[in-house]
Chain A
């Protein structure tokens, strides 16, 4: 079964507002990554945060990780219409083979 669950499932905001989406997972991880998907095709990597990190920034993206709560959040600041996409978290297990388990995704719509 998929490890990650994301909420909200869908989010609609105005351009310029901030968008926050959350990811929860079930078992201990090596790292957590966020990906973006446009139009239901290929995904693009956004940011990786390791299990010993608590916060990471990349441009307008801010990711937090709380391993005690097994959760992560992705914040997109000053959103733009071009940020409209689906966003997925992916976790890598600590043990076993290193498959990336993806969450259910958040569909973000930014209105101009």
Chain B
């Protein structure tokens, strides 16, 4: 597609349920990032994928959070046993350049509400 695509756009779930968020990066973009943004706050780094290298998972807040990416394609962010504090917009971004030298292209985000 022309841009970064994220789904679902909105997700409402009950506390304790698992959720899976999907990100389709721009074709050919080797770098992919996940961020979390709580209401009125800045962006918290979660995880970074670069090609086939080991991902940087240093931002994942707990072991309930995991993410996968196969090669340079789709990525999924999974949150297990969701808690109310997980409510946020989850943003995915991709970049054509490695090493943090290029601009990030963002998707529109997945808004997660945990009741």
For residue A10, give the distance in angstroms from its CB to the closest CB of chain B.
10
Using known A-B contacts A31-B100, A40-B89, A41-B89, determine if residue A97 contacts B108 with beta carbons closer than 8 Å. Answer: no
Residue A25 interfacial (CB < 8 Å): no
Chain B residues 82-115 with CB under 8 Å of chain A are: 89, 91, 93, 98-109
Q: Report Cα–Cα, A36/B42, bound state, in Å.
A: 12
Evaluate contact between B42 and A2: CB separation under 8 angstroms.
Answer: yes
| B105:A100 contact, CB within 8 angstroms | no
Q: Does A19 contact B (CB under 8 A)?
A: no
Q: Bin the interface of chain A by size.
A: 20 to 34
* Minimum distance in angstroms from A52 CB to a CB of chain B: 13
How many A-B residue pairs lie within 8 Å, measured between CB atoms? Answer: 75
A90 and B104 in contact, given A40-B37, A98-B50 (Cβ under 8 angstroms): yes
Q: Mark A33-71, 1 if CB is under 8 A from B, else 0.
A: 101000011111100100000000000000000000000
Expressed in whole angstroms, the Cα–Cα distance for A41 and B50 within the complex equals 24
Instruction: Indicate if the CB atoms of B45 and A99 lie closer than 8 Å.
Output: yes
A82 to chain B, nearest CB (A): 19
B110 to nearest A CB, angstroms?
10
Question: Which residues on the A side are within 8 Å of B48 (C-beta)?
Answer: 97-99
Contact A102 B108 (CB under 8 A): no
Closest 6 A-B residue pairs measured CB to CB? A98-B100, A92-B100, A45-B103, A102-B43, A97-B56, A42-B106
Residues of chain B at the chain A interface (Cβ within 8 Å): 4, 31, 33, 35, 37, 39, 41-45, 48, 50, 56, 58-59, 89, 91, 93, 98-109
